[in-house]
Structure 1
Amino acid sequence: MRAFRFLAVLLLLSACGEGGAKAPHVGDAPPAFKLSTLDGTAVDYPAQLAGKVVVLRFWATWCPFCKDEMKMIQAVWSQSRDKGFEVLAVNAGQEKGDIADFIAKLGVTYPVLLDPGSKVTKAYGVTGLPMTLFVGRDGKVKGRILGETDEATFRRKVEELL
């Protein structure tokens, strides 16, 4: 069953770029969206985060790189959030219970967003996980990482924007 779900999500992501949706490039303003956190709080991006440095992180529980990176992001976020830094971890269409269990085990406290049907994931042209966008205080994409990154690279990119 797990292999079937993995294959289903891979097929879903392979179709993410269809319909003209492309991942935002450096200099672009990422598409706006409204999603809910695990506790039901609505997040209206970018309206609620204007003037902040934002990392948009697309991920899934089955992603082999996401677990360690999410813990690493937690450390950077905890140290930098009072400087105007926010993380929005957009889950690529999984069930709320599965996401909540995964996040609780990791001790992640930054906002984790539910993306039912992967609508936002598709709108962002995500073709692989994880995908990370670094957005400056001006609301424009300043960098993008597709796949795994290390803490030093992640921290450096955030600090350059703060």
Structure 2
Amino acid sequence: MASMLRQPIALLSFLAVLALTACDDGNANRLNSGDIAPAFTASSLGGAPVRFPDDLRGRPVVIRFWADWCRYCENEMQAIERVWQRHRERGLAVIAVNAGQSRQEVDAFIGRIGVTYPALLDEKAAISRQYGVVALPTTYFVGADGRIRGKVLGE
């Protein structure tokens, strides 16, 4: 009986590793403190393009990856809003990059939770992949010099 159980467990383990490998485009979890934060351009909810780091050069930036189905994202995004309100006059920038949802879904969620920092659209999750995001929420802290200073996976 034990040998019969080992085969399905081994198969499931192999399939899990295969699935994780297929999702890795070479960048997953490889951005570390001290690395230059990858550049990207994304549309804001208002339709204006946001070019990172060009539009925020010389400012510390919090980059928040999220989705409306993420159970921890709402409370944390509201907590980030409070921090941003206290520190934005000193130059802190926050951008919330939605991972893979439509403009309508993003707009409804942002309107419901009441955050006012920029929400960016990443409908095909290209920026999320570029940053190696494998779990939501994921938050990057980028220094004024454009280098990653920290990363938090999950809550």
Q: TM-score, normalised by structure 2?
A: 0.84
Amino acid at match of 1:112: A
Give the one of 25, 30, 34 matched to 1:19. Answer: 25
1:38 corresponds to 2:45: yes
Aligned residues: 136
Which ranges of structure 2 fall in alignment gaps of 5 or more residues? 1-19
Pair 143,17 (structure 1): closer, same or farther in 2 beyond 3 Å:
farther
Larger Rg belongs to: 2
% identity of equivalent residues: 45
**How far off is 1:21 after superposition?**
1.6
Pair 117,74 (structure 1): closer, same or farther in 2 beyond 3 Å:
same
SS of aligned partner of 1:35: strand
SS of aligned partner of 1:57: strand
Equivalent in the alignment of 2:79: 72
1:131 corresponds to 2:135: no
- Once the two structures are superposed, residues 77-119 of structure 1 have per-residue CA deviations (whole angstroms, 9 ceiling, x without a partner) of 1111110100010000101111111111111110000002101
For the residues of structure 1 that align with 2:38 and 2:146, how far apart are their CA atoms? 10
Q: TM-score, normalised by structure 1?
A: 0.80
SS of aligned partner of 2:86: helix
Equivalent in the alignment of 2:57: 50
Give the one of 55, 67, 88 matched to 1:60. Answer: 67
Equivalent in the alignment of 1:142: 149
Indicate the RMSD between aligned Cα atoms, in angstroms: 1.6
**How far off is 1:16 after superposition?**
8.4
Give the one of 54, 70, 92 matched to 2:99. Answer: 92
For the residues of structure 2 that align with 1:74 and 1:134, how far apart are their CA atoms? 15
For the residues of structure 2 that align with 1:49 and 1:60, how far apart are their CA atoms? 23
For the residues of structure 1 that align with 2:113 and 2:60, how far apart are their CA atoms? 23
- Once the two structures are superposed, residues 37-85 of structure 1 have per-residue CA deviations (whole angstroms, 9 ceiling, x without a partner) of 0010110000111110000100000000001011111111111111010
1:111 corresponds to 2:118: yes
For the residues of structure 2 that align with 1:69 and 1:102, how far apart are their CA atoms? 13
